[in-house]
Amino acid sequence: MVDRVDVSSVLSQMREVRSQLRSQNEMALQAQGGIDKSAPDAMTRISNEAKRLSEISSSEMKSDNSIPDFQSMFKNAIDKVNDNQKVAGNLATRFEQGDASVDLPEVMIALQKSSVSFQAMTQVRNKLVEAYKDVMNMPV
């Protein structure tokens, strides 16, 4: 299932990464042709890059803070299981056709991954159906 993480620690990590990226960008700009940090052109580029980074991190925070609805989570899980099955089928077909770039262990691992993910999805479906039946049988 989904692990809950302390929000303040995630935000502090994001701020730390953002400050590291800013300092790396400043060093990269200084290294390009010996650009002086005090030069107006370099400062403009640094501030533009900092704005871009802050916009990216704020958009990531918006998407991370919102709670996805059940329908999208379930659809994503089904899509992932479907992708696993397609990859496994494709690898098995390529191996059967004699593709030298595909190894037998790789095919077996992909097939097992596909099988396990499908079984897990089936169990989740069974639990959902059982919960639905329990709710429908509740007296009103």
Residue-wise pLDDT for 5-64, tens only, equals: 556 666 666 677 667 766 766 666 566 554 444 445 555 655 666 666 556 555 554 555
- Cα maximum dimension of the chain: 77
Q: In terms of pTM, does the model score above 0.75?
A: no
Domain boundaries, the chain: 7-65, 70-136
Number of H helices, E strands in the chain: 4, 0
Instruction: Answer positive or negative: Cα dihedral of 90, 94, 95, 100.
Output: negative
**pLDDT for the residue numbered 35:** 46
Burial, 34: exposed, middle or buried (Cβ in 10 Å; 0-12, 13-18, 19+)? exposed
Query: Which band of pLDDT confidence, cut at 50, 70 and 90, is reported for residue 140?
Result: confident
Structure tokens at 32: 């390009």
Residue-wise pLDDT for 91-113, tens only, equals: 999 999 998 998 999 999 999 99
Least confident of 39-43, 65-69, 73-77, 121-125: 39-43
Question: In whole angstroms, how large is the CA radius of gyration of the chain?
Answer: 25
Q: Buried b / exposed e across 103-136, counting CB within 10 Å, b at 16+? A: eeeebeebbeebeebeeebeeeeeeeeeeeeeee
